[in-house]
Chain A
Amino acid sequence: MPATSASSTRPAVRFDHVAKTYSGARGTLRALDGVTFDIEEGEFFGLLGPNGAGKTTLISVLAGLVRATEGRVTVMGHDVVDDYAAARRSLGIVPQELVFDPFFTVREALRIQSGYFGVKGNDAWIDELLHSLGLADKANANMRQLSGGMKRRVLVAQALVHRPPVIVLDEPTAGVDVELRQTLWQFIAGLNKQGHTVLLTTHYLEEAEALCGRIAMLKTGRVVALDRTANLLAGTASTMLRFRTDDPLPADMAAQARVTGRIAQVTARDAAEVETLLGRLRAAGVRVEELEIGRADLEDVFLEIMAKEPLA
């Protein structure tokens, strides 16, 4: 796409039939299989999927860390291979792994990262980032001395030194305490309000439900759902049945239920299906206690979609 094309219709990120095949001694693995979707400017977009679905591979292709076998990816109209410098200037990536350079202090690391992007005299913005992320008193601490949560905050700051229009967070809250999670989401939501596009992968579906306007679900390298979060919640089973039991559920029900210890959750389309489900539980001799009926959340939608789509 030439740079002169109408910017009003240009998506912030475009995945166009992206495929990635890994060939190894143990055969080939198709990690991505024709992924196609756009993320518009200013969106807060969620990318969900079970482990091994291809989320990190897709993000790595976007960041230029992995090269797609087929298809192309653009960031703000710039191809991530042919026009990599412009694409990477538009992108801020918070990697999943807690990596750091042990030779430097927090401020040195942020200055160096600014320099890589050709940003001179960035101290005012660096100070703002340190302040917003609660790192101001750690500016001169060596990276080695920081706790895991602090290192995570530095990773976020490093991704933002060049004020990228598109921000990618790959599981940013994995193993992070509640306080940091809240600080982080406030900060990222603020950036999104200012017009930054945000792409998020997470295992915490309640976070995705609360933050993301639109969601794509990946499974075995394919997009199996792509819609507004509200539509996803409305379009599938909307009622949730939650109860406590010591007995095993009927096999077909167990396959789609969320079971946490003795608590089981199953979804139903409407009141009639609730009655049917209860009838079947009674018929199977399952003793149900502390029954609750409520609205389904994104986790129910996720499980339903993942169960519905046949494995490739």
Chain B
Amino acid sequence: MSLTADDVRWVAHLARLELSEAELAAMTPQLAAILDYVGQLQQVDTNGVEPLAHPLPIHNVFREDELQASLPVAAALANAPDRQGDFYGVPAVFE
């Protein structure tokens, strides 16, 4: 598995992570080494094996459709980095 700096840039973009050139240079071989290591899984025969996403076989967990108190607006927005009145402020969202 050869991982290029461009692959890493692309993944960083998907993950919305700004990486400096130094970080990129350090991370590329580290990720390549890890991917190389996890590549050993390809040796395992998993034909017909159902993926296991949940460790326990629990199903059908529901809550009833009952109102619970919402947060007061001030409490909801208390941690917002940019509170604009009763809204969260963000830089322009371009479509």
Query: Is A bound to B?
Result: no
